[in-house]
């Protein structure tokens, strides 16, 4: 009887060895606690996820125009997970963005953010939208030359996990100082293609970047040769300022930047964007 534990231990070790080495860890999708449903989590103004911060707490002078909390985006309605129009980022990314803002202000501009951290559930919402063939109310502005299927196939919208869900990617532009007023988008208003000249498309208070934000067209490529000289110069200025602050550009989207030294390079989060709304910044 005294040998039984040893026999059992040897048998268990043999079984584990036969099963091979353990599988690599699965990329984490950080979300609401297991005991709390998504709807319950969304109904509570919970504090920001550990390691993340409200951008207003770090750089309150950066202009915010959070499009996925509004009707003015390629879907045409608020996106799942955007319960407040707030920019949330990892602490490291927010501090780097504050550094960029200091440099930008020295040149007579301010940064303006359109999207920051994006919950994973937003990507699922995008996929549900893609599966609704007749739901193309915003096509005339955001993807006038593409089908909905091409929006995903060409990489303009992630069909899986977006870098935004890691918390260190931001969509942004430059606005002149003092910040010009910007009228609100009115749902149902006539739409103009995002590729139209600056004086014809929606009157965003951004300086001219050659296209509107979230314009799913090759003209949005940062170095697209069709950009006018002023628009190209503005894109290169934004890229230089962001590069100096430690961000890299997605060359297919002039507005898209990710922190080089991001703290969660393999983690994708899903907590909703909650909390008290910031005063509108236009």
Residue 178: cis peptide before it, omega within 30 degrees of 0: yes
Cα 20 off chain centre by: 39
The answer to whether residue 189 is catalytic is no
For the purposes of burial, counting CB atoms within 10 Å of the CB of 29, is it exposed (0-12), middle (13-18) or buried (19 or more)?
middle
Q: Which of 50-59, 125-134, 220-229, 236-245 has the lowest mean pLDDT?
A: 125-134
Give the N- to C-terminal CA distance of the chain in Å, as an integer: 79
Active-site residue, selected from the candidate residues 57, 189, 253, 262: 253
Q: What is the mean pLDDT of the chain?
A: 84
Q: Scanning the structure block, which residue is given the tokens 């940064």?
A: 111
| pTM (two decimals) | 0.82
What the block records as the tokens of 140 is: 């005339």
What is the model's pLDDT at position 150? 87
Give the range with max mean pLDDT: 69-78, 142-151, 269-278: 69-78
What is the model's pLDDT at position 277? 43
Residue 133 confidence class, pLDDT cut points 50, 70, 90: confident
Please compute the mean of the pLDDT values over residues 120-147 and round it to a whole number.
Answer: 93
Find out whether 256 is annotated in a ligand binding site.
Answer: yes
What is the model's pLDDT at position 275? 67
Domain 27-269 has CATH 3.90.1150.140: no
93's CB contacts (< 8 A; 6+ apart) are: 167, 168, 169, 170, 259, 262
In order of 134, 182, 192, the CA distances from 151 in angstroms are: 15, 27, 18
Q: How far apart are CA 112 and CA 128, in angstroms?
A: 29
Please compute the mean of the pLDDT values over residues 212-237 and round it to a whole number.
Answer: 97
Residue 25 confidence class, pLDDT cut points 50, 70, 90: very low
Long-range CB contacts for residues 98-102, cutoff 8 Å, separation at least 24: 98/58, 98/59, 98/62, 99/245, 99/246, 100/241, 100/242, 100/244, 100/245, 100/247, 101/59, 101/61, 101/62
Find out whether 171 is annotated in a ligand binding site.
Answer: yes
Would the pLDDT of 54 be above 80? yes
Find out whether 164 is annotated in a ligand binding site.
Answer: yes
Please compute the mean of the pLDDT values over residues 238-263 and round it to a whole number.
Answer: 98
């Amino acid at each position: 009887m005294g040998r039984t534990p040893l026999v059992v231990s040897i048998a268990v070790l043999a079984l584990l060895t036969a099963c091979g080495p353990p599988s690599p860890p699965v990329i984490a999708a950080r979300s609401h606690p297991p005991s709390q449903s998504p709807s319950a989590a969304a109904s509570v103004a919970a504090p920001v996820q550990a390691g993340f911060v409200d951008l207003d707490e770090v750089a309150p002078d950066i202009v915010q125009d959070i499009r996925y909390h509004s009707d003015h985006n390629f879907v045409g309605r608020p996106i799942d997970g955007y319960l407040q129009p707030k920019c949330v980022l990892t602490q490291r990314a927010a501090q780097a963005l504050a550094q960029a803002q200091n440099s930008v202000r020295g040149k007579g501009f301010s940064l303006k953010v359109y999207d920051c951290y994006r919950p994973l559930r937003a990507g699922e919402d995008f996929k549900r939208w893609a599966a609704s063939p007749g739901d193309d109310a915003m096509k005339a502005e955001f993807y006038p030359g593409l089908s909905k299927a091409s929006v995903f196939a060409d990489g303009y919208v992630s069909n899986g996990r977006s870098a935004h869900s890691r918390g260190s990617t931001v969509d942004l532009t430059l606005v002149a100082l003092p910040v010009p007023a910007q009228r609100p988008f009115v749902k149902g208003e006539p739409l103009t293609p995002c590729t139209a000249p600056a004086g014809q498309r929606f009157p965003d208070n951004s300086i001219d970047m050659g296209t509107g934000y979230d314009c799913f067209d090759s003209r949005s490529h940062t170095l697209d040769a069709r950009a006018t000289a002023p628009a190209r110069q503005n894109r290169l200025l934004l890229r230089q300022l962001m590069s100096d602050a430690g961000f890299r550009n997605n060359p297919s989207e002039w507005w898209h930047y990710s922190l080089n030294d991001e703290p969660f390079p393999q983690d994708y989060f899903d907590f909703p964007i909650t909390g008290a709304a910031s005063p509108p910044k236009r």
